[in-house]
A and B are shown apart, each in its own frame.
Chain A
Amino acid sequence: MKSCCNKKHEEIRSPLGKARGLGSSKSGFAHWWSQRITALALIPLSIWLLINIQYMFATSHVQATTWLGQPMNAVGVILFIWLSFYHALLGIEVVIQDYVPKKSSKTIGLLFARFFFVLLGFMSAYAVLQTNFGVDNISFVLDDMHDFPISSK
C-alpha cells in the first residue's frame, strides 16, 4: 500500500468491480444445512452405537458379528458411518475453503477430500454388508489365509 505505480493490473480494477467479483453462486445453503442436519442425526446414533460397542467389549467375536448381522443393527451402523463421514467431509471442505488461498490447490483439495471420503464410506459399508451377506464368520477367512500356501513357510 505504498503508491499506485507498482500496483498489479488486477488491483487497478475499481473496488466495486472487485467486490462484485463473479457474483453470487446461488448455492451454499445445502452445504450449510446438511452440516447441521447430519450433526443432529449423529447425536442419537452415536449414543446408540457407543452403548452397544461398550457391551461388545465383553463379548466374543462371533457374538459381535451376530449382533452386526441383525438387519436393524447393520442399517444403524451403515447410517452412522455414512453420516459421520459426510459430516466430516463437509467440515473439511469448510476448512479447505477457509485456509487454502490458492485456487488450484483449493480445487484439488476439495476433490481429493470428496474422493477420499466416498472411498472410505463404500469400504466401510462393504465391510458391514459382508458380515451380513458374505462369509458368515470372518474368522473363517482368517483361518483360510493361514492355510494359504504363500503365507505358510
Chain B
Amino acid sequence: MPPIISRGFKGRRRDDAPPDRVPPGQYVTNDFPVLSAGPTPHTPLDQWDFAIVGEVDELHRWTWEELRALPSESVTVDIHCVTKWSKLDTAWEGVSIDTLLDGIETSAEYAVAFCDGGYTTNLPLEDLTGGKAWVSFGYGGEPLEPEHGGPARLLVPHLYFWKSAKWVRGLRLTTADEPGFWEQNGYHLYGDPWREQRYWGD
C-alpha cells in the first residue's frame, strides 16, 4: 500500500526558477494538475451570471455577455497550489474585481466566493481589490477549460490556489470572515504561500 498520508505533489524545484518566485515547500511544475472538490458543472452560458450580493446596497448582476463586455485584462502570474506545486508565468485573461466593485457601496471587509457545485472560499476584500484578483475566463490564449474552472474562475494568485475558486458565480460580501469549504475543515483561513499558511494554526 502506498503511504497513507499524502505528502502532496512530488516534483522538484526547478533549477532555473528564481528562488524569490517559489514559496517555501513548493515545487515547480510545467503541467497544470487538475484538482476538484466535485463533479465538473456545465452551466450553459445563457444561464450563467455573476452576482455581488450580501452587504451591498442592491444586487449587482452581470450576464455572461455583460461580463465579457467589461474591460478585461491580460495578466501573467505565478500560481501556488497547497498540494505543493507551483506553476510560473501562467497567462490569464479576465475582468478585475476592481472593475466589478466600481461604484458599489459596502461596509463589508470580507467576501465569500460562491460557485456552481456549492464550493465556497473566503477572502478579505482588500485581497480582492487593488489589481490583485480577477474573474478569469481565458487561459493561455484560449477559453478557460471546464476542468480548470471554465467558463470562469476566480484568480487570486498571491494566495494558495484553493482560493482561486473554479466555476465561480459570485461574491457575497460579509462583515465577518466566514470560513469556506476547505477553511471549515483544516485549511488556513487566509492561505499566504509565502508564510506557508496551509493548515489551521500555521
B and A form one assembly: no
Q: Which residues of A contact B (CB under 8 A)?
A: none
Residues of B within 8 A of A (CB): none
